[in-house]
Structure 1
């Protein structure tokens, strides 16, 4: 019987805790971003075969069975109650508050389009502010995807259908 996503994620998070390593440390050892490491361990991202040995070296207790599970395409989902968690709520609030301005700047700098969440890198970093207090730096690094004018002549599927 196939193990549930939450069960696998729970086992993976337990291995991380037992290792005593932070996401940042595992990221350094694997060459991944700290957020991507967290996604892998929460089964929100797919482990690639060439990264598996690096992850296993960083987390030696990681079994071949768990590695194989991590290499399957994940079910990318979230708990709808997660929005109630204060950090997630504030992050969502910040994106909603600044979103319209961010969108306008993207359009001004790039044109009519969006930032990809597929060809996307994300990291969380800690820096000291000018006042000496800790600050959170979130980096969203996504490929720009322009919206396209939908000309029927460019619609390959339509051209194929007409050719039949």
Structure 2
């Protein structure tokens, strides 16, 4: 079940006939980041929250709900939504190989999910359109002490 604020945001966005790309133009932030705010996986500043709410016609009195630090993640269960599950499956199959390749190229560390960008592109293909997901995160080496 989606949080009540998420339901309100999505309903208002649909009622206005807006896409996340439209909101990107109105707010000046990436469409994926704005979607993360909608789904309470990111927090907005007061000014960003007000821009989002104004763009979709909701009262700015809801801004505190968008500026709170959210509880992030899908929870402890395996996702059941087919699209989200595929990302889970990708990590199950390619997680260890990806980790090995990153360690070979960068050393012992992780890719930041804080200093991070995520872009989604549509690649037209005669055999069927393709989803291109581009993740870019700062490499953070583990400290030695």
Shorter chain as normaliser: what TM range? 0.7 to 0.9
SS in 2 for 1:137: strand
Of 126, 133, 137, the residue aligned with 1:138 is 133
Runs of 4+ displaced beyond 6 Å? none
Q: Which has the larger radius of gyration?
A: 1
1:88 aligns with 2:91: no
TM (norm. structure 2) is 0.86
Aligned length: 144
Counterpart position of 1:147:
142
Do the aligned partners of residues 82 and 12 (structure 1) sit closer, same or farther apart at CA in structure 2, a change above 3 Å counting? farther
- Contact 1:34 1:124 (C-alpha < 8 Å) held by counterparts: no
Q: Displacement of 1:81 after TM fit?
A: 5.5
Q: Displacement of 1:53 after TM fit?
A: 4.5
**Structure 2 residues not aligned, in runs of 5+:** none
TM (norm. structure 1) is 0.77
1:68 aligns with 2:67: no
Query: In terms of mean alpha carbon deviation, does 46-55 or 109-118 score higher?
Result: 46-55
Of 3, 18, 23, the residue aligned with 1:6 is 3
Of 3, 17, 22, the residue aligned with 2:19 is 22
SS in 2 for 1:84: coil
Q: Displacement of 1:80 after TM fit?
A: 5.0
